[in-house]
Amino acid sequence: MSRTRPAPDDRPLRRLLAALPAPVARSYRWLCRPAMVWLRVPLALVLMLGGCLGFLPILGFWMVPLGVLLLAEDVPPLRRPTLRLLGAVQGRWDRYRLKRRESGSRD
């Protein structure tokens, strides 16, 4: 079952939504309303299929994780691994930024 707002255990998702531009975050929240399941699931599948053709112009591999994130709203077994992976990516990104900041201050 889909939720309109991330649950407290969805910290990586809440963090991602806070970092996104306001119109993008608003669009994601709109798509995640329970009434939008008829649009969300096909859109997620189209994004994932388009991401598989990421070597073509306009399409990109970035579409796959976005499609999985949308699909995880409606497929409970997919939700936990998706949020774990999102948290891991954010952790790596934080370490990378910290490392760059430290090396930049030494120059």
Does residue 5 form part of some domain? Answer: no
Cα dihedral 26, 37, 7, 45 sign: negative
Residue-range definition of the domain harbouring residue 71: 11-106
pLDDT at 5: 54
CA distance 2 to 107: 49
Provide the whole-model pTM. Answer: 0.75
- Please spell the DSSP secondary structure of 61-85, one letter per residue: TTHHHHHHHHHTTT-HHHHHHHHHH
If one counts every other C-beta atom within 10 angstroms of the C-beta of residue 40, the result is 20
Chain centre distance of CA 96: 19
Express each pLDDT in 94-107 by its tens digit.
999 999 988 875 54
Closest CA relative to residue 2, chosen from 25, 23, 31: 31
Does residue 43 form part of some domain? Answer: yes
Express each pLDDT in 11-52 by its tens digit.
999 999 998 899 999 999 999 999 999 999 999 999 999 999
Q: What average pLDDT score do residues 75-100 get?
A: 92
Does residue 34 form part of some domain? Answer: yes
Please count the structural domains in the chain: 1
Does residue 35 form part of some domain? Answer: yes
Does residue 3 form part of some domain? Answer: no
Q: What average pLDDT score do residues 74-83 get?
A: 92
Does residue 6 form part of some domain? Answer: no
CA distance 85 to 90: 9
Does residue 83 form part of some domain? Answer: yes
Does residue 88 form part of some domain? Answer: yes
